[in-house]
Chains A and B, each alone.
Chain A
Amino acid sequence: MNPTMSPVIEVRGLTVEFNGVPAVKLVDLNISKGHIVGIVGESGSGKSTLASALIGLLPDSARITSGQIFFDDRENTPATPEIFSELRGHFISMVSQDTLSALNPVLTIGQHLIDIQFRESISLEEKRQRSIAALESVHMPDPEARMSMYPHELSGGQKQRVSIAMAVMVKPKILIADEPTTALDATLEVEIIALLKQLQKKIGCAMVFVTHHLGVVASLCDDVVVMHQGSIQEVGNVRDVFLKPKNDYTKKLLKCDPARIEKKCRQLPTMDAPNQKRVEDETAKTKRLSGDQAPILQIENLTVKFPKPFGLAALFQKAISKDITAVNNVSLNLFAGETLAIVGESGSGKTTLIRSIIRLVSCQTGTISFFGKSILDQSRDDLESTRKEIGYIFQDPIGSLSPRMTVEKIIKEALPSEVGNANDEAQEVQNLLSLVGLPIKFSSRYPHELSGGQARRVCVARALAQNPKLLIADEPTAGLDVSIQGEILNLLAEIQDKIRLPILIVTHNLNVVRHISDRMVIMLMGEVVEEGATDDIFSKPVHEYTRRLLNSNIHALPE
């Protein structure tokens, strides 16, 4: 980094171990005054552990086995727990990853803000005024009223604003932000990042920004640190690293990010095949999509309402009429061989919509037909056989696998009954596992012994075991590193090419949608606001909300 500037914080040869397994290995790092440094890496790269070490708040199970951390304030004295606790809250502060749990549920917002000014010897009223000013600085609406509210009365975005207000109010020299926007919707993410950048300029602190999102690094940071398996792979100016990466790992990581691939790809690059970028040719595409005119899945005017929960109050006042409408008058079609993406932010009703297709959620009005047969008025037996024909991949990969069954049993349960004897079934399970790229030995594992990516593959294998005529996937790549994300998506595309499987995919990840879907539907508060071919919507969005959504999709190239 810039050698002329003195670092606010300097890390020398830091190694952190968890039960003897190193999570951070011999890391050297200097962070200069007023710089924003992004730390990127996949899950398990040690980036969060490094951030916790910087503020001296490692979990109890972690041990620092070598190395020292120096602060600008205490020159030539390596930080001790005493120094850390003295510096925390005015020299160094932090914004947490988990917005929902970062604030104490039984204290008001005002109490949080006033508490952290315990070092200041000013009157309580002055502390209150400062707190209100801090809330104003993060653009919190009606800050005075918010002071007496409890965390559960705020939305996720508002909670994150309070966390930022707290971190900035103490005017730190260095601010640590550990994935501060991961839990937020895309449009909100853009606002929060802009806010952080603005406040960082205002108080002139250095900032360490931990993220797995390359786009955020490109748009926010001055410098970038790339981590892999606990060690630093590459350090440098964001432009230099992103445009001319030197390290092999960095190169692969950058190549795998779908946001950085301009052309629409049928097969995305993976860590094993970083140069793979197969674009589908027109003949293949026509072959995949053309043919039958009748849609395989047809939804018309579907409305889903949830009744308000029953309480004692309902006995006295007949206030049951206030239903919550989750899906409002939605119609859509899905044809053979095509991928339809349903895009929307949390609470837009997209998951409810796809669950109502197989009647996991019951709907009030509308029709759903599958191969021309209505699903909604099927008997229990017919419904069960329809469900057998529809593969469904749930959002939470580990949570959707029965915890006390082995992978083999889980997949066997999905096999159609005509497969036959135990031998054939076992053979089939093996075939499926190898199809999704898992070694045979995984068949005897339990769900909690799988990583997120492995569990996701098992979910895909189970859905394929059904021999489905339609595949529904709810956020199939959420929480996955870009490399694994590519592998899962490539696998789905391959199968679709082979058997012209129609796929309905729900996601909020626009970079993924752009590559894999033929058509897309955009949902907002239970309603479809825009529908059309993916390419058209990305080039000429019509609805105002669509435009806002597309603008929030941060591109992974430095400005």
Chain B
Amino acid sequence: MSKYTNLLSEQIKEDIETYIIENELKPHDALPSERKLAETLDVNRLTLRAALKRLRNEHHIYTIHGKGNFVSPPKIEDDTHNFTSFTTGWSSDGYITSSKVVLFDLIESPLPVCTHLNLSLGEKVYQLRRIRFLNDEPILLETSYIPQKYCPGLEQYNFAVSSLYDTLSNNYHLNLKEIQESMSITALTKEESLYLNGQEEETAFFIKSTTFDNEKPIEYCITVSRAERYMMSSTLKSENS
């Protein structure tokens, strides 16, 4: 049972967190060397290393080989309780947003996309893949599928600058009011890692969302984002309130 109850390295992890707060270390500030930190916290090197690994696993610190350990910048926090366009939502959080279109095609809807959009095989969808930047850092890789029958001529718009939701609502009179999202865990493919400035096989969020006009699914979107840089948040309400 000792592997279940040995909480020492967890305690040391919290001690290092406290050290960071007390010494007001900022993102990218260096932690003391392992030897010094072990002395300060009065713990052996083995336990200290286990604690540092915990902090690294949870993205509190990062390590540069030969240089030591550094405080990680805070993750980008995506508040899921707003149904707004990318630009509106993130600008109101104080970020400078930009987008780059890396793929925009008209294709036959792949089977999984058919399911989410209630299409028959053979129907055409627009496939739009965009990298979303916050303060010039690539954070989200979004691949949207929109049935051509709802928005013929969509290819004339430039979605590096135009909002997809605004275009669908203003130019095609689609009333997008509801999103259903589900989230799981994936590993970045090589291509995704290049777009997001990450490593191949790195852990990432995999978010599937479907946007509806009343009951009708209009857009199916797959979003990938690096676990090291991204987190979701929401405020849950009590049932009585």
Do these two chains interact? no
Interface residues of A (CB under 8 A from B): none
